[in-house]
Amino acid sequence: MSNEVYGYFEGSEVSNKDLFFKFLEEKTGIGVKSILVSELYNYPERMAPIDTESCIAFVVGDKPGKTNTSYLTDYVDYALDTDIGFPCKGKARLQLLIDFLMTMIQEAKATRFVVAITDSSQIEEVKTVNLAQLESKILADFEECAPPDCLYDVVVG
């Protein structure tokens, strides 16, 4: 199974998505790459992008060049002597992912931001949250089930 974080944003000031994603990777060390809108697997129809031509779809990876987030979303605490290139505590790794998403949202200056955090692209629930609630909501959802198989529709404005 593969833990995945994938989504899209619309109404952004980003003019070159490849340069934008490279900037994010260099700033954070976390991977992100462009995907096709058709690769937003299991997104409910009501959550599909409004304008598929101008939206920017993406997938996040543990590191640049990766397309899954097994370490960032497994929420397992590893032995302190384990070298995975991330903190050993699951909550600390999840915080890195949350910080990355917040950076992406802020830097993109998008009018709409939608992201799924799943195990094998299974979306079981859709939650609408405002930007100020996003961190606490993701943390609470991970306490119940990791990854939460949830799609977050982030109200950014």
Q: What is the pLDDT of residues 29-51, one digit of tens each?
A: 999 999 999 999 999 999 999 98
Helix count and strand count (H, E) for the chain: 4, 6
pTM of the full predicted structure? 0.96
What is the model's pLDDT at position 1? 63
Which parts of the chain sit beneath pLDDT 50? none
| Paired tokens of 52 | 């598929």
What is the model's pLDDT at position 15? 94
Task: Give the length of the chain.
Answer: 157
What is the model's pLDDT at position 82? 87
Q: Which residues of 121-154 are buried (b: 16+ CB within 10 A; e: fewer)?
A: bebeeeeebeeeebbebbeebbeeebbbbbbbeb
